[in-house]
Structure 1
Amino acid sequence: RYVAICNPLRYAAIMTNKMVIKLTVSAWGVAFVLVGILLGLTIRLNRCRTMITNPFCDNASLFKLSCESVFINNVYGLTFTVVLFTASIGSIVLTYTKITVVCLTSKNKTLNSKALKTCSTHLFVYLIMFLCGMLIIILHRFPQYSDYRKLSAILFHIIPGSLNPIIYGVQSKEIKKFLSNLLQSRKILPSL
């Protein structure tokens, strides 16, 4: 988004196939290493319980099955989460700040409108996923709220996925026109 908005004429030169492959391999490589370490720390634990109290099996639920100290796992897991979220949010804030500066200094209304539409929807979807994910992480720390954690774990998989097509679809002219026609026809029908 940053390159497309801030350097649109250089986009093809910057975002080559080679660059896309580098970015993809970097993202997947870092994820595999960090998750591999997390799984390695989890596998080493002996289990003395068998019931997972979540609707699905996640790493924090596996920690709760162990009778051993999970201090190292918790420290690594929290550090992993903080680093991942900080890097993610930091890169978004940095690039969106640069995009905002370009939009404020540019007199091109079309560019500003497109940038605002693209960035606002992306930011909105990201914030929904971030808040849903953080809620689960926070609720894992409070065993007395296990029912809320179960509900939030289910909603984490339903809400962002359900809202994505709505949030991105509202930008489509055809969908806007359809919704506008639908709402106008509903206003006409009750008066008949």
Structure 2
Amino acid sequence: MKRENLTVVSEFIFQAFSSFHEHRLILFVVFLTLYLLTLAGNAVIVIIISTDRHLHTPMYFFLSMLSTSETVYTLVIVPRMLACLIGPSQSISLAGCATQMFLFITLAINNCFLLTAMGYDRYVAICNPLRYTAIMNKKVCSQLVWGACSCGLLVAIIQISSVFRLPFCDREVAHYFCDIRPVMKLSCADTTVHDIINFIISSMVIVVPMGLVFISYILIISTILKIASAAGRKKAFATCASHLTVVIVHYGCASIAYLKSKSENTRDEDQLISVTYTIFTPLLNPVVYTLRNKEVKDALYRAIAKKSLA
């Protein structure tokens, strides 16, 4: 496209769920309900872990960090999406789009590496229990959390610098938030190099932590199978079940969304996949850890009992 035909784009307009226009009110109610449940569930987890001394362990420290990150992650995406469903304005400024994308990438990658840290914690607890307290001390736990956040920030800076250096000649984003692929499609320039960079980075931040988690679980399972007592094996498996469930769903959704070819799905299919990891996956964390985790349930019961007696 010739330079004189380019227009300066100062804002983008979301084409959120345009194929579901007749059902927008229903979608709003469903998404709002799930969003409120997510906020409430993650808030309960953070409060319970911070107030119950039985949960002041590395495993639950990482869980509280994950719940906090998931809460901010949904705050970045869902409120604007809900506004787009029922509000008259579906626009976002260029700076606002860059900010949303930056926070989304930072928090999404932070969540990936926090799950890896939780996998490492389970590996040390089961495969090297005698040295657990020495290895997983407060300093190491803090370093793992800061490392996860730093990876997210670094990748977000690289991605934002790459995407928003492009010239844009269209402003209609075929999505409900500023994700990388939908925004890059608005560029007038050839984005082949940017697509390759995006795929390489996505592969690294999904495949590497996912691989580390599954290596940890291979070692964990081999150790558990060597436990002589059936009760001991059951207890060991129980301590990992919640985390493994979240890991499979989280990395599964991320892989489907970012490691597939650009042309494999339609716009509506891409949006539905995005709903999975922006709305349903954050809700999975509090549901799994409250319904499947005995220690968290016991802490919750103690808090309720204490409140009732007060």
Bucket of the pairwise TM-score, normalised by the shorter protein = 0.7 to 0.9
TM-score by length of structure 2 reads: 0.52
Q: CA deviation at 1:88?
A: 1.4
CA contact (8 A) 2:224 2:233 kept: yes
Give, as a single letter, the amino acid of the residue that structure 1 aligns with 2:291: V
Residue of structure 1 in register with 2:285 after alignment: 164
Give, as a single letter, the amino acid of the residue that structure 2 aligns with 1:46: P
How far, CA to CA, are the matches of 1:108 and 1:117 in structure 2?
14
Give, as a single letter, the amino acid of the residue that structure 2 aligns with 1:90: G
Q: Does 1:82 pair with 2:203?
A: yes
Residue of structure 1 in register with 2:161 after alignment: 40
What value does the CA root-mean-square deviation take over the aligned residues?
A: 2.4
CA contact (8 A) 1:55 1:153 kept: no
Give, as a single letter, the amino acid of the residue that structure 2 aligns with 1:105: K
- Deviations 1:130-156 (Å, cap 9, x if unpaired)? 222233336771286101111221232
CA contact (8 A) 1:60 1:140 kept: no
The one of 243, 251, 256 aligned to 1:130: 251
Which structure 2 segments of 5+ residues have no match? 1-121, 298-310
Q: Does 1:53 pair with 2:174?
A: yes
- Superposed, which structure 2 residues align to 1:68-107 within 5 Å? 68-107=189-228
Residue of structure 2 in register with 1:21 after alignment: 142
Q: Does 1:149 pair with 2:270?
A: yes
Q: CA deviation at 1:8?
A: 2.1
CA contact (8 A) 1:45 1:68 kept: yes
Q: CA deviation at 1:76?
A: 0.9
CA pair 165-87 structure 1, distance change in 2 beyond 3 A: same
Over the matched positions of the two proteins, sequence identity in percent amounts to 28
How far, CA to CA, are the matches of 1:16 and 1:119 in structure 2?
20
Runs of 4+ in 1 over 6 A off after TM superposition: none
Q: Does 1:121 pair with 2:254?
A: no
CA contact (8 A) 1:140 1:149 kept: no
CA contact (8 A) 2:202 2:259 kept: no
Compare relative contact order (CA 8 Å, sep 6+) and give the higher one, 1 or 2: 2
Which structure 1 segments of 5+ residues have no match? 177-192
CA pair 123-30 structure 1, distance change in 2 beyond 3 A: same
TM-score by length of structure 1 reads: 0.80
